[in-house]
Amino acid sequence: MSDKPTPAPYTEADLDLIKKIIPHRYPFLLVDKVRDIVPNQSAVGIKMVTANEPHFEGHFPAKPIMPGVLIIEALAQTSAVLVGISMDIIGKDLLTYFMGIDKAKFRRMVVPGDCLELHVEAKRGGGKIWKFEGKAMVDGELAAQAEFTAMMDLKG
């Protein structure tokens, strides 16, 4: 029996830890932190939406709106962090590939100045294929939702 205590699972991931789990970087890293992590179950990502993001130059110059596909991508990145922590694969080059996106709906515009909360729940997982339900919220209001399936793969 070891005298070393078992480390508590992560319940939060700052930007440094996120970068050790997923390969995304500027301008495609869309999660600033992840909190309320319950391994194999759920997590909440946080994305601070700022006017400096490159997609706002063209979407749209007179009325900047975060593209819906990027909101779904931010939900997926939050899910990948949940998987990385759940499977203890921090620092092991996790790649995540979409396999399907279902029931995507967009309910509210997301604009610079918003704090986007990315609520994800694992519906099936534990191996390479995971299924999630995600809801993106701003100030308690539903902005977008989707179900998505992803394949988790370790590089090389």
User: How confident is the model over 43-61, as pLDDT tens digits?
Assistant: 999 999 999 999 999 999 9
Within a domain: 7: no
Where residue 112 sits, what CATH number does that domain have?
Answer: 3.10.129.10
Within a domain: 52: yes
Q: Is the pLDDT of residue 1 over 90?
A: no
Q: Is the pLDDT of residue 127 over 90?
A: no
DSSP string, 32-98: SEEEEEETTTEEEEEEE--TT-GGGGTS-SSS----HHHHHHHHHHHHHHHHHHHTT-TTS-EEEEE
Environment class of 139 (CB within 10 Å of its CB; exposed 0-12, middle 13-18, buried 19+): exposed
Which residues have CB under 8 Å from 92's CB, separation 6+? 154
Within a domain: 45: yes
Structure token pair of residue 58: 């063209």
Q: Is the pLDDT of residue 8 over 70?
A: no
Within a domain: 69: yes
pLDDT of residue 3: 55
Distance of CA 152 to the CA centre of its chain: 14
Evaluate whether 153 touches 97 at the Cβ level (below 8 Å). Answer: yes
Q: What is the chain's mean pLDDT, rounded?
A: 93
Within a domain: 3: no
Within a domain: 93: yes
pLDDT-based confidence at residue 155 (cuts at 50, 70, 90)? confident
Q: Is the pLDDT of residue 2 over 50?
A: no
Residues annotated catalytic, as ranges: 59
Domain that holds residue 39: 15-154
Structure token pair of residue 145: 């939702």
**Into how many domains does the chain fold?**
1
Evaluate whether 32 touches 50 at the Cβ level (below 8 Å). Answer: no
Q: Is the pLDDT of residue 103 over 70?
A: yes
Within a domain: 124: yes
